[in-house]
């Protein structure tokens, strides 16, 4: 398990370069996802919760009708660590995944999470 070392601002910015839509604010990594509606909001929150529990690292989530806001911070040190950047990467994969064009899966026909 990685140590709880708070990342420098330069390290945070380096991590954010590969995390589209994420930002650092008030010692939190944050991202809001727009969803097609309430059922997708709940499904995304559950998927994030499942991944977070498996990682034993838990984000703060704010839910709205068509929105999930994710806030990550390593609470025990009061700042952003590699635990947060790694979970942000996993959440981004989960939230934005769609079947590829060559996939037999059709994919959701309406606007997806953005």
Q: pLDDT of 33-89, one tens digit each?
A: 999 999 999 999 999 999 999 999 999 999 999 999 999 999 999 999 999 999 999
Q: Which fold has domain 9-96?
A: Gyrase A; domain 2 (3.30.1360)
Where along the chain do its domains lie? 9-96
Q: pLDDT of 82-109, one tens digit each?
A: 999 999 999 999 999 888 788 888 777 6
Averaged confidence pLDDT in the chain: 92
Three-class SS of 19-71: CCCCEEECCEEEEEEECCCHHHHHHHHHHHHHHHHHHCCCCEEEEECCEEEEE
Distance CA 83, CA 1 (A): 9
**What's the whole-model pTM score?**
0.90
């Amino acid at each position: 398990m990685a140590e709880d070392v708070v990342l420098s601002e330069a390290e945070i910015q380096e991590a954010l370069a590969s995390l589209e839509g994420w930002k650092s604010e008030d010692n939190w990594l944050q991202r809001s996802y727009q969803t097609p509606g309430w059922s997708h909001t709940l499904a995304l929150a559950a998927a994030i919760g499942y991944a977070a529990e498996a990682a034993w690292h838990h984000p703060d989530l704010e839910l709205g009708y068509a929105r999930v806001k994710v806030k990550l911070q390593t609470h025990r040190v009061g700042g952003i660590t590699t635990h947060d950047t790694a979970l942000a990467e996993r959440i981004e994969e989960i939230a934005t995944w769609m079947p590829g064009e060559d996939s037999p899966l059709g994919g959701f026909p309406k606007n997806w999470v953005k």
